[in-house]
Each structure stands twice: as C-alpha cells, then as structure tokens.
Structure 1
Amino acid sequence: MARKRCCVSSFQSLSYIIFIFSIFSGILFLSWCHFSGQCYYTYQLLSPEKKPISNNNQPIINLLSYPFAWNHLTFSSELPPPRLLKIALFVKKWPQRSHAGGLERHALTLHLALARRGHELHIFTTSPSSLDSSLPKYELANLYFHISKPTPGGYLDQALVWEQFQAQNSTGRPFNVVHTESVGLRYTRSRYISNLAVSWHGIAYETIHSDIIQELLRSPQEPQAKALTERAMKVVDEVKFFPNYAHHVATSHHAGDILKRVYMIPEKRVHIILNGVDQHVFKPDISKAKEFKQRHNIPDSSKSLVIGLASRLVKDKGHPLMFEALKQIISENSTFQENIMVLVAGDGPWAARYRDLGPNIMVLGPLEQAELACFYNAIDIFLNPTLRAQGLDHTSLEAMLSGKPVMATRLASIVGSVIVNKEMGYTFSPTVTLLKKAIYEVCDDGREVLEKKGQVALQRGLKLFTATKMVAAYERLFLCLSDRNDGNHLCQYQPPSN
C-alpha cells in the first residue's frame, strides 16, 4: 500500500535515498573543510584563477561552452551594441531607494544600465507594498513597468504576469530575450521559452551549509530545527524543475559548479557572471572618509583601527556570532576600546545589543547608497560575518572597490570568487573562537598591512566586480541567445590581442 501511495518503484525510491545521502555526505565534507580549513588550498587550486587565459594564438571561444566567469573576458562597453534588444525581466520586487536585498539591487543595476545602452526593457514586477510608496521615476523612454498585485506570499501572480507578457510578446516585435531573477517567472511558464536566462542568487544546495552552521551554533535551550531534512528534499525538487529554464546564470564560481555537477544542468546551459557594483559610486576617496568621520563624530586617529559592518542586523547575517566575539574581546582585552572603533551600518534586532557594548561600537542605522560609499572610505577593513552560504554579497564587493580589505566567513562562494588568497583579506570559520582570532590578527597586522591588502582587493574588484563588467557580460549573453538562429556569430568570442 505504501508503495502505491508513493507511486514510485523500489528502484526510484532507492535512487532518491542514494541521492539525498550523497548530498548530505558532500555538504558534511565541505562543512568539515570550511571549519577545519584543511581543504581551503585544495579549493584554491581548482579555482579558475589558476587557469589564466592567454591572448597569444588563442582560438575563438564558443561563449556558451566557456567554463569560467564571463567577467574575465573583455567586451566593449563604449561602442554601441551591434543590435538593440527587446528584453523582458521578471523580478518579484523592484527596489525603492536603499531598501533592497541583493537580488533586487542586481536587477536595478543591470537593467537600468541596459536601458541606458538603448535596449527596450519591460519589467514585470509587483506593486509597492505600502500605499504611500510608488515606483521610482526614470527619464528613460525605453523602460516600461508592468505592475501586478502580489500574491499573499509576496510573489508574482504567475497567471497575471504571463498574460501581461503574452500581450507584449504578441505585438509586431516579440521579445528577443527573457530574463528572470531567480523564480520570478516560475518553471511552469519558463518551459515554453527557449530564449530565457535565469540568474540564481542562491540555491537550496548551498543553503544546506548555512543550516549546518546554524545547527552547530544552536544553544542547548533552542529546539533542534528540521531545516536540514526539509532542505534535502528541496534540493531534489530543484534538480527536477531547474531544467525547465533554458539557460542558467550562476553569480559565483561555486554555484556554477553545483549547477553543473549536482543539478546536472548541461554545461552549455550554465554561464558564470559574477555580481558587479557601480564603480563610479564605490571608489577610494580620502575626502569622503574625512567628511564622514566629522559628520558622525568618529575620532580620526592614526593609532586607532576602524572595523566596518554593513547589513541587516539579523541572525542569518551572523550578528549573534559577531556580538559574542566583540563582547568577549572587550571583556578580556582592556586596550581594545582604546585602539579599535567598530562602525555598524544597518538596522535590525541586534542594533540595541551592539550599542550596549560600549562607546567604541557605533551603530549608524541604515545608510543610503551615497552615504554607504563614504562609510567604506572611513573604515580600515570591512567585516562580513554572514552565515548565508548563498551567492555573493554586494557589500563585500562594494568595500573592495572602495580599496578596503575584506574579512568574511569561509564559505565556498566567498573563498572561490572573492577572497581567493590572503593578499586581499581574511577568512574565518564561523565560530566565536576563530572569529576572535581573525580580529586579533587584523589588530596585530595594523593599518599599513591593511592598506596593502586593500590595494590588492581594489585591483581584483576593478578586474571582476564592476557594474560595467557585469552589464557587458549580460548584454553579450542576451545578444548571443537572441542570435542563435542567425549564424551564432554573437556567441563567438575572439580574445583581444595584446
């Protein structure tokens, strides 16, 4: 009877059990690697950073088969595009001012830039959540919003947006390419679109590592979560429905590897394009640093180091871990309050706790983008204690482009794409003891060492993490997908000569 209810054969059941077991085995091994640090250098040896592309006698590259991040390639952003595209974007929420997560900020940065490049953008998104808010106004005649009321869960109403999409697609000029940020357009509809690309900013397989960390950090008083068991089945679900998206964009090297190896997406349908941030906003500026310190009454002392934090002040961003590490350091080190200033940009449940730690812990609240750029310039190092093992946090990239070294949790996406060696920053496994050790190492290194690491971080940021690099890569991908029935010449890449 049980087999009839499940409607699967014994062989299928055994396959699922083996699959789930392999997921847990792999994640537990990776978790041990990250906590022990034993696998760090092995991972680095497998990184595409160790496989530079030579411009000498390099044959033409088929972009759809290119296994590394497209950010490494050089696409012209100064010349006009070879053709203008009509692009559809599906995104759950369009950001308003500074109140946006990484996915929404990615959509904003990318698609506004594409519209400024002359492409026609149609954005299918939900109406603002509050009655007194509205979508921002842009002076772009080629940018169109198609608004719909969100579902009770806050997602796009798939039937309604599909109707809106079909109406626009059935005009005299159909869409050349369709882009969905995560499951903005669900797989039940995406299966019908061949010129579609989905950008993944986090997948369930990565999140299992976060679940393991949360369980290890759980206090005895807290009930044991069921997330690990539930997450494994979510991975199985994703493996089933991900093939319904024609092309997949991974925002980190690690996610690209998982999509190919674990989710079994054919390599020609997986493309790595790393997140990028606006290099015209986030850049080194000594005058902004001085002005910021004056506005917030921050002592400008050559003897003191300034550590910066910027995120939502919630549990999964690592703030309980950060709070406990700072609390212990302050209690055991009498000179810490004299020599170290910690600036916390953001808001959330842990803001009040940080304020109670002492006068050298300053909570600034949420900052607008321009003020955030000044914040990065005012610090000596950016610390990202996140416990979310998904995608690439924009804050770390913003800090690097501002010329600052980054200290971050040793997660696969971070060590595989961002802090690839000790010359540009620090990594730590997410325990209080190891986080404290990393903070003490920063204090011992001092400002001179941090400035050198910051310069290395800046050069890497300019090479890979600028909005210009990201937009150029996406534009070429979209041109390629729109050109597949026309000789595929836009899917071919000729490396520039030296």
Structure 2
Amino acid sequence: MVKDQSSNMPSFRYFCSFLVFLSAISSVSFLYWSHYSNSFWFSQEDTTELQQNEAINLLSYPKAWNHLSFSSNPPPKLLKIAVFVKKWPQRNQAGGLERHALTLHLVLAKRGHELHIFTTTSLNSSFPKYSLTNLHFHLSKPTAAGYLDQAVVWKQFQNQNSTIPFDVIHTESVGLLYTRARNLTNLAVSWHGIAYEAIHSDIIQELVRSPDESRSYALTERTIRVVEEVKFFPSYAHHVATSDHAGDVLKRIYMIPDERVHVILNGVDNGIFKPDLKLRKDFRKKFGIAESSTSLVLGMAGRLVKDKGHPIMFEALRQIFEENATFWKSVYVVVAGDGPWGDRYKNLGSNLLVLGPLEQSQLAMFYNGIDIFVNPTLRAQGLDHTLLEATVCGKPVMATRFASITGSVVVSHEMGYTFSPTVASLKEALYTVWGDHRKDRGAIEQKGEVARQRGLKLFTAMKMGAAYERLFLCIASQSQVDKKNGRDDYCRYLPSDNIAILDQ
C-alpha cells in the first residue's frame, strides 16, 4: 500500500528522500559536535554549574542527568508509581527495553517507592517472583501482536488510581499509547529507539543486502513512521531519552520543548558486573582458553541475528582467518547468545566458541574472561546494555560508529575502538586491536580501566535510578508546590545539597 502511494505521489518521494538526507546530516553533525565537545562534557563534572553553586532548573538541564550527583540518603518522599511495559524480563531472554525496566524499577522499589507494574503474562514460563512487598504486578493477556491490551490495562490502572492516586506514571516506550497518555500531566515516557534514528539502520541494512535478497521498502515506511511520531510524541508530558543523540533528535527534529526532554543514560548492576580475576581464570579454564601473552580473546553477546551485525562480523572473521594464519592461531572469539548465526560461527573453527544465552552471573564471568568486547550492531538506536556491562567490568569495547554510541559510550580512543558498519572497516578495526594487543597488552588493559571509570561515573543502576527518582519527584511535585517555600524544590538542583554520590 505504501509503495503504491509513493509511486503515485512524486512529491511524497521527494519528501522521503529529504528526510533520509536530513537523517544523514543530523548524524554527521552530531558526531562532529560530540567529537569536539566530549573532551569537556565528559571529562569534567559540569564545572560551570557546580563551581558557581547556583541552583539548576533540572527540567531544562541540557545534558544527561547521570553527570549530576544525587544524595544516597533515603528519598525525601515515597512515591506511588505506575509502570507500563509490554513485557517483563523472563530470565536470560530479556531485550534492552525489558532489562531497563527490570533494573530501574527494582532500584526504585528497593529505595522504598511503591511500584505497580502493568504488563503481560508469559505464555511460555511462570512469572518471576520477588520478595519486595512494595512491588505489585497487574498482569493481562497480550494482544495477538504481543502488546498490552490498552482497554484492559487502562481499567486496571483506573482501579488502582481510584483509591490512592499515582504520583507519577512511567511508560517504557509506547507501553501506554498516546491516546490514553495525552491527558496525564504527571507522566514520563522512556524512548529506547525512535524511528528517525532507525533510518540510519535502514540505510545500512540496504547496503549490506546481498544480491539475491529482494529490495526492502523500509525507508519509505520508516519515513511515514517518523511523521507519525512527530505528530503523536507531544501527547506525552515528559520524555526520557536514553542516549545523548536521541535527546538531541527529540528536541530538534521532533520539536518537543527542551523542558520536556530529559536525557538519562541506561545503567547496569555494577554489583554483578565488575572486574573479578577469579571469574576470569574460571572462565578460561572452563572453556580451554590458554592464558597467554599472545592470545587475544574477543567477546560478543546478544541476539545472533542480522540487525545485530553478525553477517559483517562473520564475513570479516572468515576473510581474516583465510588471509592471516597467525591471527587465526592467536585469537579466540567467544559468543554469548543464540540465533541463526550461532551455527555459522561454529563453522569458522575450533577457536570460535558459541556459548548460547547466559544468565547475568554467567555473563559477568563471560565479560571477565574476554580481553575486549565487540558489538557490530547495524541498529543505530538506543544504548545497548551489553556495551555498558562490558565497560563496568573493565573491558574496552569495539562498536559501530553510530551517533548514540560515540555520543554517549565510546567517546574517545582512550576507552575503545569504533568502525563503520562495513566488512572492510570492521576488518581494519580487528587488525588494529590485534596489533595493539601484540605490541602492548597493557595498553589494552588501560583502555579497559578508562572505560570502567567512566562507566562507574555514568552507567550504574544506582546512578540511573537516582536520576529517574529525582525526575519523578520533580514531576509529582509540580502539581503539589511546596507552600512553605513557595517553590518546587525537587525540580531545582543545588550541588551543595547532593554531596554523596550514589555509586561510591
């Protein structure tokens, strides 16, 4: 239908082409901006604001809230929070959005807030149980497409809201549709990927398409989706972008007012993901990886599917193994996850180890056992949790040169490597890492330490949870202005009031 429409409307095709061009310009400009601003933004603790000790209006704060330090004391007020999420994580099968929901809301529940999770029942396994008495689940059958049944969850929400009203409502992406959300002023939506970012991914997918595959019309469809999002996104009161780049797009391209867009980077549990020499030794012993000064262990984790970049990673490794016997003998590649590319990796040789999906504790052992983490994703959306898990474990990372990654995670060569999503560029990066490791293994380890220190500053679960907690307190109190002081304190940030850093 979309194809026919565009073919009969040349002006619409031109509009699609313009948006694609605009997407490319936006990504390039953001990369240029982030390259020259990261040395200031990310190496200092927002010196100007903090040194002046002047109050900051958090709702118009332009950077990621992770850069601010909020008190580790008990929260000044306990909130009743409604959470809408399409799917709650089931053991080791969780995607990025589900892992974010689990990590964030467990932190908030442990902080004492009352959480009501509106989500779908699991058809294949029993629903997980938690000992927290302030964590409540309201389950419903998913629609045929796997989404929340909006009529059912809305009725569940109204029943809970009629007794003691919710202080704040949080929807993970479109868990709660805009048609229900547009009249809720105390609502925040977290975006883990938006259609405008995905245009870059669609371009890459078309470039890596093999000649025997049919051409995709995703670009035309995505352009229409962008237009739809620009129209309905303003229906949500507050927006949380999980990467610096997404926040920039929401403000400039989607034209959402600055004071309604807040950047809070994803966080991971650094109590689980942390350097551990014993785990490293146990991992290498278990899988027969020799501890040698010349051997290099590369690791990948996640779904082993096309859009995660495994076609270009497979081809890059295949070519290198064929042309360089020394590389083949000295490099191990360990893959955690499942998917169609798992069996193909096994065919590359005995030094390709495919472990299947892993639990969190097993993933922690995996990260400790490798030398460098590789993420060849072709998806230019969101902030991949595996990158953050690897960094807080003290590992340097190799990742695709997408704006969300270079703008928020691999912000300099001091903590890792980046490459374009092509076989040639990935091969060059792999050879560079291999050469650096052979020349000076300590330099690789130093990159990992730099990555870890930045990860502890920005990417811990508590850092993320503290930022969301403060945002929720701010949103909830906007309609309950402090009558004693005549102002809303939770939306104002004073550095002197937040001496303790949560993740220290």
**TM-score tier (shorter):** over 0.9
Kept after mapping to 1: 8 A contact 2:31/2:403: no
1:250-265 aligned within 5 A:
250-265=241-256
Task: Kindly indicate whether the alpha-carbon contact (under 8 Å) linking 1:187 and 1:242 is maintained by their aligned counterparts in 2.
Answer: yes
Superposed CA RMSD: 1.9
Question: Take 1:206 and 1:97, find their aligned partners in 2: how far apart are those partners?
Answer: 29
Aligned AA for 1:64? L
For residues 176-219 of structure 1, the C-alpha deviation after alignment (integer angstroms, 9 at most, x for no partner) is 00000000000010012110000000000000000000111112
Which of 366, 372, 397 is residue 375 of structure 1 equivalent to?
Answer: 366
Q: Give the C-alpha shift of residue 21 in structure 1.
A: 4.7
Residue 122 in 1 paired to residue 116 in 2? yes
Correspondences of 1:397-412 after superposition (within 5 Å) = 397-412=388-403
Alpha-carbon distance between aligned partners in 1 of 2:406 and 2:136, rounded to the nearest angstrom: 38
CA–CA separation in structure 1 for the residues paired with 2:492 and 2:222: 39
The answer for the alignment partner of 2:334 in structure 1 is 343
| Residues 57-68 of structure 1: pairs in structure 2 closer than 5 A | 57-68=52-63
> Could you say which residue in structure 1 is the equivalent of 2:69?
74
Shift of residue 22, structure 1, vs aligned partner: 3.9
**Is contact 2:121–2:141 with CA below 8 Å preserved after alignment?**
yes
CA contact (8 A) 1:74 1:496 kept: no
Query: Counterpart of 1:3?
Result: none
Number of residue pairs matched by the alignment: 478
| Alpha-carbon offset, residue 389 of structure 1 | 0.5
CA 1:167/1:454 → structure 2, altered by over 3 Å: closer, same or farther?
same
Which of the residues 448, 452, 464 maps onto 1:454?
Answer: 448
Partner of 1:465: 459
Structure 1: 5+ residue stretches without partners: 1-5
Distance of aligned partners of 1:39 and 1:103 in 2 relative to their CA distance in 1, 3 Å threshold = closer
Match of 2:315 in 1: 324
How far has the Cα of 1:97 moved from its partner? Answer: 1.2
TM-score, normalised on structure 1? Answer: 0.93
2-side partners of 1:82 and 1:153: how far apart? 41
Measure, in 2, the Cα distance between the counterparts of 1:205 and 1:397.
Answer: 23
Q: TM-score, normalised by structure 2?
A: 0.92
Distance 1:62 1:262 in 2: 23
Q: For 1:335, what is the secondary structure of its paired residue?
A: helix
* Displacement after TM superposition at 1:465 (Å): 0.4
- 1:250–1:270 CA contact under 8 A, matched in 2: yes
Alpha-carbon distance in 1 for matches of 2:362, 2:219: 39
Q: In structure 1, what is the Cα distance between the partners aligned to 2:327 and 2:140?
A: 52
Alignment correspondent of 1:56: 51
SS in 1 for 2:35: helix
Separation (CA, whole Å) in 1 of partners of 2:14 and 2:60: 30
Q: Retained in 2: the 8 A contact 1:283–1:403?
A: yes
Distance 1:270 1:222 in 2: 40
For the 8 Å contact 2:172–2:189, the answer to whether it is kept is: yes
Query: Match of 1:366?
Result: 357
Cα distance change on mapping 1:39 and 1:69 into 2, 3 Å: closer
1:146-185 mapped onto 2 (5 Å cutoff): 146-171=138-163, 173-185=164-176
Query: Aligned partner of 2:492: which letter?
Result: Q
Provide the identity percentage: 64
CA distance in 1, matches of 2:310, 2:205: 12
Does the CA contact (< 8 Å) of 1:314 and 1:348 recur in 2?
yes
> 1:69-95 CA deviation, whole Å, 9 max, x = no partner?
000000012x11001000000000111
- Tell which deviates more after alignment, 297-306 or 357-366: 297-306
SS at match of 2:52: coil
The equivalent residue for 1:492 is 492
The CA distance in 2 between the partners of 1:298 and 1:50, in whole Å, is 36
Name the amino acid aligned to 2:285.
Q
| Unaligned segments of structure 2, at least 5 residues | 482-486, 500-504
What is the alpha-carbon distance in structure 2 between the residues aligned to residue 463 and residue 210 of structure 1? 29
- 2:214 corresponds in structure 1 to 223
In the TM superposition, what is the alpha-carbon distance from 1:337 to its structure 2 partner? Answer: 2.0
The match for 2:181 is 190
* Cα distance change on mapping 1:199 and 1:39 into 2, 3 Å: closer
**Corresponding residue SS for 1:232:** helix
Aligned residue for 1:374, secondary structure, equals: helix
1:140 is displaced (CA, Å) by 1.0
- Counterpart selection for 2:127 from 135, 145, 155: 135
Distance in 1 (CA, whole Å) between partners of 2:105 and 2:31 is 35
Aligned counterparts of 2:386 and 2:371: Cα–Cα separation in 1: 15
